[in-house]
């Protein structure tokens, strides 16, 4: 399932980046509008992504949102998360988070010393016009020689006009 999600995310990102241009006025791509950001710290280093793409997929009677945020149109570093439209709250909101840094993918799942590797979020607004909230937690990747590599994400916020 994770491999399918990874392939889907990379495919969606590739299509989104190649289909977006500087003159794109689609409401789901802010093209660097400073009012919309996904901002967080990774291991203490501030990241602010202002290029935000929101893809929607109708599944039965619900709308699945896939948010892809990067510094610019480049696909070298970005964060993605998925959730269903109109869901708000904390742990009860089912989300999936991933962070891509060049060819390295960090994701939720598993345990480190019996502590879950996950992102905790609070979704404060989630409708057809706006998505906002906060997030923090841990993502990981496993490398054969280095073992488990953890990324600590703190002070995460997102404010997205749809």
Question: Distances from the Cα of 123 to the Cαs of 30, 42, 130, 156, in angstroms?
Answer: 20, 20, 11, 12
Mean pLDDT across 44-72: 95
56: three-class secondary structure by DSSP: strand
Lowest mean pLDDT among 31-45, 111-125, 132-146: 31-45
pLDDT class for 13, splitting at 50, 70, 90?
very low
- The residue that leads in pLDDT, 33 or 128, is 128
User: Which SS3 state, helix, strand or coil, does residue 68 take?
Assistant: strand
Chain segment 73-89, per-residue pLDDT in tens: 777 999 999 999 999 99
Q: Which tokens go with 60?
A: 């039965």
Domain locations in the chain as residue ranges:
2-161
d(CA 154, CA 44): 8
d(CA 123, CA 67): 13
pTM of the model: 0.77
Contact 98, 9 (CB under 8 A): yes
Provide the residue count of the chain.
Answer: 162
Strands 104-107 and 96-101: antiparallel
**What is the arithmetic mean of pLDDT over 4-15?**
46
Query: CA of 40: how far to CAs of 25, 103, 110, in Å?
Result: 26, 20, 22
């Amino acid at each position: 399932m994770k491999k399918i999600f990874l392939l889907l995310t990379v495919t969606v990102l590739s299509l989104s980046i190649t289909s977006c241009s500087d003159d794109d006025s689609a409401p789901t791509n802010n093209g660097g509008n400073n009012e919309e950001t996904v901002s967080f710290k990774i291991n203490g280093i501030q990241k602010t992504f202002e290029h935000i793409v929101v893809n929607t997929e109708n599944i039965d009677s619900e709308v699945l949102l896939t948010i892809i945020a990067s510094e610019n149109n480049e696909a070298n570093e970005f964060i993605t998360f998925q959730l269903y439209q109109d869901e708000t709250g904390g742990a009860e909101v089912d989300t999936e988070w991933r962070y891509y840094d060049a060819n390295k993918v960090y994701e939720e799942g598993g345990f480190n010393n019996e502590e879950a590797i996950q992102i905790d979020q609070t979704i404060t607004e989630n409708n057809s016009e706006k998505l906002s909230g906060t997030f923090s937690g841990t993502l990981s990747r496993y490398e054969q020689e280095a073992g488990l590599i953890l990324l600590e994400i703190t002070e995460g916020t997102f404010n997205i006009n749809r």
